[in-house]
Amino acid sequence: MRSLTYLEAIREGLLQEIKRDKKVFMLGEDIGHFGGPFKVTQGFLEEFGQKRIIDTPICESGFIGFAVGAALFGLRPVVEIQFFDFVACGFNQIVNYAAKCKYRWGANVPLVIRGPMGAGNRAGPFHSQSEEIWFGHTPGLKVVMPATPYDAKGLIKAAIRDNDPVIYFEHKNLYRRIRGEVPEEDYIVPIGKAKVVQEGKDITIVTYGAMLHKVLEVIKEKELADISCEVVDLRTIYPLDTETIINSVKKTSRLLTVHEDSKTFGPAGEITQRVCEYAFDYLSAPPVRATSIDTPIPQSPTLEDRYLPSNTDIKKAIRKILDY
């Protein structure tokens, strides 16, 4: 076991899969000579050549469509979106074509679309969005968002080996900020399986991505020392691991969902509904959510901090549930 950053873990997973399977190749803007905007693919071009590491024009609709076609012919393309906000330019190719090929004629589309997303870097409304619910609402797609280096490596490898299209979100605020132990050998983290990161008995907190680290930070604060929190990291947004969530809520009888996506129609709404549908009789208090607010993401540091769910917001939500 070695300590790797979140970025290094993704990079190692990609390298191992390209070496393992000759059908795997990568394409995207500036991923070759430049090594990508965050240097995830630095050195890949020199090691694997231009046929497997392809620099594309600035045309998401074009190279995503190209990748879907390559996947239908049996290759395993990995598309990097330079900032995930720009995936909107290729939205039609993903949701109206790649997601529906298996349903329409039984065709596999072993495609991964990955790249940086998320706020906290003062990058403004066009480089900071959380887009998971765009794709989590589309049957035929799998949507994952790892929060730790171990899961980042295991999920990118699982995504590349999957025969369905997978949207793989990388929170850019975690790239070099988070470190963790990662095995050098081959392993995968199964898509569709959440993880109980910390066991507790008073309240279940469901979260994912960068918010996992904020939640773990908050529950260690002195003023919450008397509360036993169970923390569930979704890891996969769709398909949602309902079983793990329900089992946890049945144990604690309380639910808080924390995510960076905006509040209205965010993942918290679906999670809350499933808990109310399958575990309503176990609840001791109404479920609560701590999320970003329903505005575009500000570039101003003060406003962006207000936009995101804060430590104070999460603590207030926990107390609200327990005081009910």
For residues 248-266, give the mean pLDDT: 97
pLDDT of residue 87: 96
Alpha helices in 125-241 (DSSP H): 132-136, 149-161, 210-218
Instruction: Tell me the domains of the chain and their CATH numbers.
Output: 2-182 (3.40.50.970), 195-322 (3.40.50.920)
Percentage of the chain with pLDDT > 70? Answer: 100
pLDDT in tens, 265-300: 999 999 999 999 999 999 999 999 999 999 999 999
Q: Strand 236-238 vs strand 255-262: parallel, antiparallel, or unpaired?
A: unpaired
pLDDT of residue 223: 87
pLDDT in tens, 164-200: 999 999 999 999 999 999 999 999 999 999 999 999 9
d(CA 233, CA 145): 10
What pTM was estimated for this model as a whole? Answer: 0.96
Residue 108 scores a pLDDT above 90: yes
Residue 81 scores a pLDDT above 90: yes
pLDDT level of residue 1 (50, 70, 90 thresholds)? confident
Q: Which residues are catalytic?
A: 127
- CA-closest candidate to residue 309, choices 320, 293, 297, 294: 293
Which strands form 255-262's sheet, in the order they lie side by side?
195-198, 229-233, 203-207, 255-262, 288-292
pLDDT in tens, 302-317: 999 999 999 999 999 9
For residues 51-66, give the mean pLDDT: 96
The per-residue DSSP string of 256-320 comes to EEEEEEESTTSHHHHHHHHHHHHHGGG-SS--EEEEE-SSPPPSSHHHHHHHSPPHHHHHHHHHH
Torsion, CA 57, CA 74, CA 131, CA 126, rounded to 10? 0
Q: CA 82, 270, 217 angle in degrees (round to 5)?
A: 65
Mean pLDDT of the chain: 97
Q: CA 283, 286, 291 angle in degrees (round to 5)?
A: 125
How far CA 90 is from CA of 38, 139, 296, in Å, comes to: 21, 17, 21
pLDDT of residue 124: 93
